[in-house]
Structure 1
Amino acid sequence: MSELQSQFEQAQTDVTKLSERPGNLTLLRLYALFKQATEGDAGGDKPGLTDIVGRYKHDAWAALKGTSQDTAKTQYVELVESLKAGAE
């Protein structure tokens, strides 16, 4: 397993142990980075008008189109580390 993959998996564990829940925009960024890191570019249909949360999630993920999975993992790890340090 690569060093980056180990850091990414540790960040996934660490994010569940944060002392404070991140704000909605930060949670959306974490979601989008995680999806890009694990699945690559967003695919499938955009959720319907009645699924507002789903649309926001899809849009945030789609905004990362073209970002490599390794870059997304690195950004995810960096974001989790900044949250652990108390910055948001």
Structure 2
Amino acid sequence: MVFKNILNEVYYEYMEYEGKQVRGYNTIVYYENTMKNYIENSIGRMKIRFIKYKQLQDYFNELEKNKSHTTAVNAKKVIFATL
């Protein structure tokens, strides 16, 4: 069994094995865009074992402050689906 270390790896594995089978085309597109634009180069690089509530909440608060509430909600949906 191979254990994944970072959120990005888990997301792409999820999409490959399950996400594309259970999600509609438009949802997949918005997941991919959200991942690439807001998650991949930030919290996506974190090792999953170090992602705790505080890191997630700080990340969502920062997105809401610097981007928008909708962006923070979309990122939360993608991360929730991944985990």
What TM-score, normalized to structure 2?
0.40
Larger radius of gyration: 1
Q: Answer 1 or 2: which has greater helix percent.
A: 2
- Give the TM-score, by structure 1 length: 0.38
